[in-house]
Amino acid sequence: MTAWYFAVIFLFVAVVLLAVAVFVLARQIGILYERIAPMGALMNDSGPKIGDVTPSFTLLNLTGPALHIGTSAEKAQLLFFLSPTCPICKKLLPVLKSVRSAEQDWLNVILASDGEEDKHRRFIQTAGLEAFPYVLSTELGLAYRVARLPFAVVLDRQGVVRAKGLVNSREQLESLFNAHELGVESVQTFLAKSGGNSP
């Protein structure tokens, strides 16, 4: 009888200790999540700044009529700079197709590159990109100081730069949309101002 009594006490103490341990771990996970904020697109300081009106371009579109960039438009524009030889760009093509479908009410996705037209026409065909506007322009890349790929820029309907950065994942691409909706330069800027990155 005494052994049974001590066993019950031992189990009760063990359950209490486990409950305390779970509570402490849950709290630490919450603190860790606040310190390690979601990684947004990697911004660069060169090229047009957030809030600047983008340079105006009228460009050859390999999949349709000539395209106007930097002028007033019915929808916001996502300029996605890519290359047929960039493996990360290719990995993000299904993401871009999904974004084009999901965000079509307010956003036009435009693919941009430079180089030989024939090579890009083959890339459009093999990757199934006929539904996207696809422009070739060295000047466009120079205007945004695109040094690494894939790089993306979000322009609002008035042609104002609302978000930009190097994107390597769906999360980083979507962070540009979040920055546009929140009216901030980047997700990191928003988190820093709201105290989300504070230790």
Averaged in consecutive runs of 10 residues, what is the pLDDT profile of the chain (199 residues)? 79 90 82 51 72 92 93 91 95 95 95 95 96 96 92 94 92 88 62 48
Of 173, 150, 153, nearest in space to 163 by CA:
153
**Sheet hosting strand 107-113, strand order edge to edge:** 134-136, 107-113, 76-81, 151-155, 161-166
Residue 197 is predicted with a pLDDT of: 44
Q: Which residues pair with 166 in a beta bridge?
A: 42, 151
Which pLDDT does position 48 carry in this prediction?
A: 87
CA distance 161 to 48: 7
Say what the pLDDT of residue 186 is: 59
Residues 6 or more apart in contact with residue 106 via CB below 8 angstroms = 75, 76
Residue with tokens 């430079």: 114
Residue 128: what pLDDT? Answer: 96
Predicted local confidence at residue 122, as pLDDT: 96
What pLDDT was estimated at residue 6?
A: 78
Q: Are 180 and 198 in contact (CB under 8 A)?
A: no
Is pTM beyond 0.85? Reply is no
